[in-house]
Amino acid sequence: MSQWIRWKGVIPFVLITTGLALFFLLFVDSVVKNIIDSTGSEMIGAKVETKNVDVHLSPLGITVDGLQVTNPQQPMSNAIEIEQIRFGLAGDKLLMGQVIIEQMDVEHVRFDTPRNKSGAIAKPTPAPPKPAGKPAKDSVDRGAPSPSVSTTEAEKKDDGMKMPSLDLPDINTILNSEPLQTQKQADAISASITRTEQDWNALQQSLPDDARKKSYEQRVASLEKTKQDDIAQLTQALKTLQSLKSDLNTDIGVINHARKQAQLSLNKLDTDYKALLKAPGEDKQRLLNKYTPDAQGVGNLSQLLFGNEANGYLQQGLHWYKKLAPMLTGDEEEEEAEEAERLTGRDIRFRENNPTPDFLIRRIHTSVQTTQGDFEGQILDVTHQPEIIRRPVSFVFSGQQMRGMDSLHIQGKLDHIDKKNTLDEVDMDLTRYKVARHSLSNDPNLQLVIDSALSNTRMRVKRRNGRLNGDMNIHISDIQYDNRAGGGEFQQVLVTAFNNVHDFNIDTYLSGSLEKPGLRIRSDLDQRLNKQVSAAFNRRIDKYKQELNSRIEAATEKQIAPVRASVEKLRTDIETQLKATEASYQNQRSAIDTQLGQYQTRLDKIKREYQAKSDAEKRKAEQAVKQQLEDKAKDLLKQFQR
């Protein structure tokens, strides 16, 4: 027995297991801290840092102090900073590989706080820069004047509601940067003209030439020696003329064929030419559409005023939704499951007596600090397996008696219980928010500032099965302005019109998908300002349109004029030459026909004269014979009587 059992072996076993336990106790805090920092940084794409992590065993739980999540777009500021996160863990479930947190307290959450050091992390390959100068119509609703709502870096940094510049783009810049369809068509038709000329040259080769025409004339001239009373010569002349006529007919056939071919080439040229004539119109329409606001755009001043800012908020909201929603619902894990299976196998789940997800936070209580004051909230049932607990992730935040507003209430849910039928929704009510020194314009010649006002906001946004649907209504009232205009007529009109408006509504409608969200903004401000502002705006736009129109016409006429001359010349050349050649041959054929007639008449006459002469001689001979016979008969009768 003793050769098999080593009783002293219990000592290293106890030492190893105790060593492992001690290692856990001593280093678990650092290990968890590193896991939070590295995993968080990888997920956010910027530094996630914790000041201290404490893992306590009795009761089992973790306390995280000083969590900072860097804003990836602005590395010198934190998107979120949390003073402390505390939570307890269910020990028995943890042994079974499940992380179950009954209550998590998240204290003193603050947004957009400054950082001492940049939180940017090096990326392996920088993203390629986005192409500049893309018209804003692609990102916001149709109807917004595209040059006016282009978003620059400077505008993005501004906090206020900035009215985009109403300056219309320089016409020279447009004409230099925009390729004209007319130019393309002109190039195409130049090639077409060259091709037609080549075809025509080839056809000319096949047409009867001057030598052939002279040979006909020589053959006709040779007939002049024909004796007019010689039947044989006349008959020979007739045969020659018939042959000449046949040759002429063949040549006229060749000319007709050439005419048809030339006509086909000219028709093709005509088609290209008509397309060229249409091109300036299309160019005008396209450039006018692209660079000048249409009637709808002029009327939709709210889009012009608030489009950029609303789009900025939307992009920011969607950015964080895309980052946070998969973490709360666990949708991102499914994509990696297949890959992980090959390395670590697959955990098969069986029916549980008391089903519990692998990860669950039943309740997160949080307090958020903002410049307007504190508000509190709770998030319930955070799990990546909502189908097990049959409850969606839900959240509610509310603040009362905050500075600059009466109340703020946000609630929503992320329902991913049925992965094929998901619904995420958020509702927000903000009452009596005090607006102060809010700028509507960044035009140096136009100061449009809401000095003070009250706003009530109500927002409902849903995302069902990937499709966004939402609306937000903002009512702004008790408005006091600090407006000044230093520019032209339009600015003056705008300031006067605004000074008469003391309350208005803004309605925002969201649609599309996360990848291609559509944002539409309507406001009764349009109706109130429309009459005065749009009239001035329209006058300006009409003038701009006229100028753009005439410049486009001048530019396109330069392309068309030489083409028009070339086409006309080619057409005239072809038709003139074909007509002349054909007329010449037709005349020659007519002359030959006449000559043929004359020769035939002459021949017939001679034939008739010969016939008459022959008949008279015949009759005379018959008469003589008859007389001889009568004389002979008489002689015979006389002899008989005798």
Partner 1 sequence: MWEPLLKFIKLLNSEQAPHQLSLGLAFALIVGFTPTLSLHNLLVLFLLLMLRANISAFLLGWAIFSLLGLLLDPLFHLVGQNLLSQSSLHEMWTGMYNNSFWRLSHFNNTILLGSLLISVLAFIPFFFLSNRLIRLYRERMQERFKTFSQRFTKLFKIGQFASRFSR
Q: Which is nearer to partner 1, 59 or 345 (by Cβ)?
A: 345
> Hey, what are 20's tokens?
């492992």
User: Which string of x and - marks every residue 34-73 that binds partner 1 (by CB under 8 A)?
Assistant: ----------------------------------------
One of 22, 35, 96, 583 touching partner 1 (CB under 8 A): 96
- From residue 287 to residue 326, the character string flagging contacts with partner 1 as x (rule: CB under 8 A) and all else as - is ----------------------------------------
Q: Which residues contact 556 (CB under 8 A, 6 or more apart)?
A: 180, 182, 279, 280, 283
Question: For residue 101, what are the contacts with CB-CB under 8 A and spacing of at least 6?
Answer: 87, 88, 89, 90, 360, 361, 362
Considering the complex, state which of residue 358 and residue 424 has its C-beta at the smaller distance from partner 1. Answer: 358
Q: How far is CA 576 from CA 223, 351, 570, 595, in A?
A: 32, 96, 10, 28
Nearer of residues 95 and 127 to partner 1, judged by Cβ: 95
Nearer to partner 1 by Cβ, of 352 and 515: the residue is 352
Minimum CB distance to partner 1, residue 4 (Å): 6
Q: Which of 522, 406, 409, 413 is nearest to 473 (CA)?
A: 522
Q: Which of 527, 411, 409, 430 is nearest to 475 (CA)?
A: 430
Kindly tell me which of 159 and 352 has the beta carbon lying closer to partner 1. Answer: 352
- Is residue 4 at the binding interface for partner 1, with CB under 8 A as the rule? yes
3-state secondary structure of 461: strand
Of these, 59, 97, 131, 133, which contacts partner 1 (CB under 8 A)? 97
Residue 31 touching partner 1 (CB under 8 A) = no
Q: Which is nearer to partner 1, 225 or 342 (CB)?
A: 342
Among 34, 141, 352, 572, binds partner 1 (CB under 8 A): 352
With residue 613 as reference, give the H or E element that holds it: helix 535-641
Of residues 6, 130, 403, 420, which one binds partner 1 by CB under 8 A? 6
Tokens of 13: 């076993």
Least distance in angstroms from the C-beta of 18 to partner 1: 13
Count of alpha carbons within 13 angstroms of residue 325, beta-carbon side: 19
- Grouping H, G, I as helix, E, B as strand and the rest as coil, residue 223 is helix
Identity of the residue, 57 or 327, whose beta carbon is nearer to partner 1 in the bound complex: 57
Q: State CA 256 to chain mean position distance.
A: 50
Q: Site for partner 1 (CB under 8 A): how many residues? A: 28
Which residue, 397, 393, 331, is CA-closest to 360? 393
Is 231 a residue that touches partner 1 (CB under 8 A)?
A: no
338 in contact with partner 1 (CB under 8 A): no
Q: Does residue number 343 form part of the binding site for partner 1 (CB under 8 A)?
A: yes
- Kindly indicate which of the ranges 9-17, 217-225, 394-402, 563-571 contains the residues binding partner 1, using the contact rule CB under 8 A: 9-17
Among 225, 351, 403, 420, binds partner 1 (CB under 8 A): 351
Question: Which of these segments, 313-321, 342-350, 382-390, 584-592, binds partner 1 (CB under 8 A)?
Answer: 342-350
- Rounded to whole angstroms, the Cα distance separating 397 from 412 reads 9
Angle between helix axes 489-499 and 535-641 (nearest 10 degrees) is 120
Whole-number minimum distance, CB 70 to partner 1, in Å? 33
Q: Is 350 in the site for partner 1 (CB under 8 A)?
A: yes
* Of positions 156, 322, 346, 558, contacts partner 1 by CB under 8 A: 346
Any idea what DSSP says for residue 349? P
Residue 345 contacts partner 1 per CB under 8 A: yes
Phi, psi of 94 (to 5 degrees): -65, -40
Q: Is there binding between residue 5 and partner 1 (CB under 8 A)?
A: yes
CB of 346 to partner 1, least distance (A): 5
Beta carbon nearer to partner 1, 112 or 387: 387
Q: Which is nearer to partner 1, 340 or 565 (CB)?
A: 340
Indicate whether 640 belongs to the interface with partner 1 (CB under 8 A): no
CB of 315 to partner 1, least distance (A): 42
Using alpha carbons, select from 361, 276, 310, 314 the residue that is nearest to residue 161.
310
Taking CA 458 as the corner, what is the angle to CA 454 and CA 462, rounded to the nearest 5 degrees?
A: 155
Residues 6+ positions from 321 with CB-CB distance below 8 Å: 424, 514
Nearest to 66 by CA among 110, 29, 4, 23: 110
The answer to whether residue 339 forms part of the interface with partner 1 (CB under 8 A) is: no
**Helices of type H across 475-534:** 489-499, 524-529
How many Å from the N-terminal Cα to the C-terminal Cα in the chain?
A: 200
Residue 9 or 133: the one with the smaller Cβ distance to partner 1 is 9
Q: Which is nearer to partner 1, 89 or 506 (CB)?
A: 89
Q: Which residues contact partner 1 (rule: CB under 8 A)?
A: 3-7, 9-10, 12-13, 16-17, 92, 95-97, 341-353
